[in-house]
Amino acid sequence: MDSFMSDKTSKIFIAGHRGLVGSAIVRKLNQIGFTNLILKTHSELDLTRQSDVESFFAQEKPDYVILAAAKVGGIHANNTYPADFISINLQIQTNVINSSYINGVKKILFLGSSCIYPKMAPQPITEDALLTGPLEPTNEWYAVAKIAGIKMCQAYRLQYNWDAISDAFSGMPTNLYGPNDNFHPENSHVLPALMRRFHEAKVSGAKEVVVWGTGSPLREFLHVDDLADAVVFLMEKYSGLGHVNVGSGKEVTIKELAEIVKEVVGFEGELVWDSTKPDGTPRKLMDSSKLAALGWAPKISLKDGLVDTYKWYLEYLKQ
Ligand SMILES: NC(=O)C1=CN([C@@H]2O[C@H](COP(=O)(O)OP(=O)(O)OC[C@H]3O[C@@H](n4cnc5c(N)ncnc54)[C@H](OP(=O)(O)O)[C@@H]3O)[C@@H](O)[C@H]2O)C=CC1
Ligand SMILES: C[C@H]1O[C@H](OP(=O)(O)OP(=O)(O)OC[C@H]2O[C@@H](n3cnc4c(=O)[nH]c(N)nc43)[C@H](O)[C@@H]2O)[C@@H](O)[C@@H](O)C1=O
């Protein structure tokens, strides 16, 4: 197996490079000196179109692929657009993984999500909890697509002995946040949604901010720059049939998260809980000891990461 880090001129296709995760990976690769990144916007290359993806790979012949393009959203988007979440994700990942194999890609990293695990999985969740129980209904369509992606990487390794020449494997990040997140009022994840709502309430002088659910669910958050660091680490160090959890190991209730975001933004009013909105999974803390045993650890605390993200958000609003 070639060393990923040994040749900084390798051709690396980062699919989804303008999103939260893809943009952080591009920042990281630029920072460590990679010079040959292949980047295509959604309008330049729609990854759901099989023949376009096949032509692109045949022409570009990337050495490495990091698959961070997907249909992504928070609890409301997942619950409202189940057909989009299952079909777009199955199409993107099937096209990209298959074309990577056909064109001799040395290593592809497929990004899944912690929602692949059963709703009531024992906590912290180890990689072997996969397919041991029913999924959380609000995101089962997305989860089924992501599970298919993991299984596709495994199947290609097994049938084609892909590992002998090259490699397909999967990383499962926990809930992420940071620069270039999606701040849509309804379709985003909780952290950017609350940052925007608190900011707008502060600016307008509103007395209250509505937060969804009961506030009791627990979530584990990881700054996307830590994730990008873990991705590069895994590209260099990991080759195996099993997927790898990538988490911070630290969890907070949604109520605690709301209080921290409120403080970082500087909103001084009250929180009002809308219990007609779903809570989703009660708890999803991942066990990331497999990754820790390889020698990786996160560096950015939730408080520091939030301060950094709010600074970014204020700059973004000026654009
Ligand atoms: N955000 C999170 O909390 C977590 C994310 N992940 C995983 O990380 C990966 C990236 O997520 P994230 O960065 O948050 O998502 P984003 O929505 O921020 O970015 C996704 C990117 O994929 C692109 N894309 C979507 N559809 C297509 C398409 N048909 N053709 C080409 N490009 C497309 C989008 O472009 P455009 O916007 O132009 O459509 C966008 O640049 C996903 O696999 C996700 O499952 C895992 C755990 C948590
Ligand atoms: C990463 C992961 O993200 C999704 O799962 P999720 O963790 O449930 O995502 P979420 O961030 O949207 O919500 C977390 C919690 O927060 C509460 N909550 C409060 N107020 C708001 C709010 O204003 N917006 C949102 N979105 N949630 C809110 C919300 O009710 C829930 O209890 C998956 O669908 C799937 O995409 C996936 O893999």
pLDDT along the chain (319 residues), means of 10: 91 98 98 98 98 98 97 98 98 97 95 97 98 98 97 94 76 97 98 98 98 98 98 95 97 98 98 97 97 98 98 97
Q: Ligand 2 centroid vs 271 CA: distance in angstroms? A: 17
Go through 177-199 and write b for each residue having 16 or more CB atoms within 10 A of its CB, e for each that does not: bbbbbebeeebbbbbbbbbbbbb
Query: Does 7 reside within a domain?
Result: no
Query: Does 122 reside within a domain?
Result: yes
Residues taking part in catalysis: 142
pLDDT of residue 168: 85
Q: Ligand 1 centroid vs 268 CA: distance in angstroms? A: 33
Q: Which domain holds residue 17?
A: 12-317
Ligand 1 neighbourhood includes 126 CB (under 6 angstroms) = no
Residue with tokens 């630290």: 250
Residues with CB under 6 A from ligand 2: 73-76, 78, 113, 115, 138-139, 142, 175, 188-190, 193-194, 211-213, 217, 219, 254, 277-281
Query: Does 6 reside within a domain?
Result: no
C-beta separation of 174 from 114 below 8 A: yes
Query: Does 5 reside within a domain?
Result: no
Query: Does 2 reside within a domain?
Result: no
C-beta separation of 149 from 98 below 8 A: no
DSSP symbol at 134:
P
CATH number for the domain including 76?
Answer: 3.40.50.720
Number of domains in the chain: 1
Query: Does 116 reside within a domain?
Result: yes
- Examine the predicted complex and report whether its ipTM is higher than 0.90: yes
Total-model pTM: 0.98
Q: Which of 21, 75, 223 for a ligand 2 pocket mutation test, highest count of atoms within 8 Å of Cβ? A: 75
End-to-end CA distance of the chain: 44
Kind plus residue range of the DSSP H or E element containing 316: helix 302-318
Return the percent helix, strand and coil in the chain, to nearest 5.
45, 15, 35
Structure tokens at 198: 């608190």
Query: Does 106 reside within a domain?
Result: yes
Query: Does 3 reside within a domain?
Result: no
